[in-house]
């Protein structure tokens, strides 16, 4: 039984500037099987102000499968009906508040599906993966690594979504200017780190999948040790952080996830809810990013991103590995 997230109001959201940011609060378990440990999350930390207003939603959908296996026969080639999936996604979103964009890429088949994937959204705490990736890349290029204290901060930042830890590591990485430099090395195109407040940064689902691909596949500058370190933290988030991408997993799949949510109070209202991560198993390796904004509640946003992740991953599963 899904437990309500209505406790957020009772907990008293901390407001910094013009945003109430609750990303470190625990979200209760919804009864689904999850491959994560049931840890206790620390108290919520404060976070940044809203970014500029988002651009209009991209109403188009794109599907690419150019890297599909050469052995696929005619029957299996049509097993994935992209037009049908576009209709399903569009039909679902037509009856949901706000707007959403998504990108899913299967590294095993080369198939991908995007819907508004180049549209930009406030990052909230999914930015924490970019912060850690950027800091690790900076240290790697300097032939150095994280200190024990920095590793403790990184664990709190990813596994518990602790905002104070993110503040500290963002500063160590050079804040917006430093992460912008490493993002260029990572090939990110639509991610704009906010100069001082990481949670007010903007990104696109397409860029988040680019980042995940650099982390998951080795197709980038990060060495194997750093890539495995990031995925290890994302694969062991606390019980209150294990929603979103895990909704697309089947029993036996391995899952890594990082979520972000923020209630906006300026240049727009409602909740921004995002989820990024990886689902591996049953012959597939999905990199998933779903971003959304304009929800009347966090719970509504969570339901939307989980449904979209499950719908699109389910459609791409029909392609044989």
DSSP-assigned letter for residue 80:
S
Q: Is residue 128 part of a domain?
A: yes
Range of the domain at 68: 7-316
CA 157 to CA 167: how far, in whole Å?
9
Mean pLDDT of the region 91-112 = 96
Other C-beta atoms within 10 Å of 63: how many?
17
CA 189 to CA 207: how far, in whole Å?
6
| Mean residue pLDDT across the chain | 81
Q: Is residue 251 part of a domain?
A: yes
Which residues neighbour 74 within 8 Å (Cβ) at sequence distance 6 or greater? Answer: none
**Alpha-helical regions (H) of 95-237:** 127-141, 148-159, 163-172, 175-186, 205-217, 224-234
Q: How confident is the model over 66-76, as pLDDT tens digits? A: 333 333 333 34
Among 287, 226, 244, smallest CA distance to 125 is for 244
Q: Would you mind telling me the total number of residues written for the chain in this entry?
A: 321
Mean pLDDT of the region 157-176 = 99
Q: Is residue 321 part of a domain?
A: no
Q: Does residue 61 carry a pLDDT above 90?
A: no
Q: Is residue 166 part of a domain?
A: yes
CA 150 to CA 148: how far, in whole Å?
5
Q: How confident is the model over 233-275, as pLDDT tens digits? A: 999 999 999 999 999 999 999 999 999 999 998 646 799 999 9
Domain count, the chain: 1
Q: How confident is the model over 213-224, as pLDDT tens digits? A: 999 998 999 999
Give residue 3's pLDDT.
Answer: 37
CATH of the domain at 97: 3.40.710.10
Other C-beta atoms within 10 Å of 120: how many?
24
Q: Is residue 101 part of a domain?
A: yes
Give residue 321's pLDDT.
Answer: 64
Contact status, residue 154 vs residue 130, Cβ threshold 8 Å: no
Give residue 266's pLDDT.
Answer: 65
Confidence of residue 173 (pLDDT cuts 50, 70, 90): very high
Q: Is residue 150 part of a domain?
A: yes
Predicted structure pTM score: 0.79
Q: Does residue 52 carry a pLDDT above 60?
A: no
Q: Is residue 283 part of a domain?
A: yes
Q: Is residue 1 part of a domain?
A: no
């Amino acid at each position: 039984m899904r437990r309500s997230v209505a406790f957020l109001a009772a907990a008293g959201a901390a407001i910094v500037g013009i945003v109430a940011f609750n990303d470190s609060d625990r979200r209760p378990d919804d009864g689904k099987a999850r491959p994560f440990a049931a840890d206790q999350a620390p108290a919520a930390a404060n976070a940044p102000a809203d970014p500029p207003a988002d651009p209009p939603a991209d109403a188009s959908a794109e599907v690419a499968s150019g890297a599909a296996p050469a052995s696929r026969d005619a029957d299996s080639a049509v097993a994935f009906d992209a037009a049908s999936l576009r209709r399903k996604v569009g039909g679902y979103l037509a009856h949901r508040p706000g707007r959403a964009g998504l990108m899913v890429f299967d590294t095993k088949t080369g198939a991908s599906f995007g819907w508004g994937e180049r549209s930009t959204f406030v990052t909230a705490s999914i930015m924490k993966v970019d912060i850690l990736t950027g800091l690790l890349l900076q240290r790697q290029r300097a032939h150095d690594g994280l200190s024990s204290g920095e590793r403790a901060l990184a664990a709190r930042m990813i596994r518990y979504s602790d905002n104070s830890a993110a503040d500290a590591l963002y500063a160590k990485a050079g804040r917006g200017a430093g992460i912008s430099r490493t993002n260029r090395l990572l090939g990110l195109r639509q991610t704009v780190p906010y100069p001082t407040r990481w949670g007010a940064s903007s990104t696109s689902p397409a860029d988040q999948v680019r980042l995940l691909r650099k982390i998951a596949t080795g197709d980038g500058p990060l060495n194997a040790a750093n890539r495995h370190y990031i995925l290890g933290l994302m694969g062991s988030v606390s019980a209150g952080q294990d929603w979103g991408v895990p909704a697309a997993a089947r029993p036996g799949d391995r899952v890594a996830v990082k979520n972000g949510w923020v209630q906006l109070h300026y240049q727009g209202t409602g909740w921004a809810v995002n989820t990024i991560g990886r689902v591996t198993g049953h012959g597939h390796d999905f990199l998933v990013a779903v971003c959304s904004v304009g929800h009347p509640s966090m719970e509504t946003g969570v339901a939307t991103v989980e449904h979209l992740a499950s719908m699109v991953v389910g459609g791409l599963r029909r392609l044989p590995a």
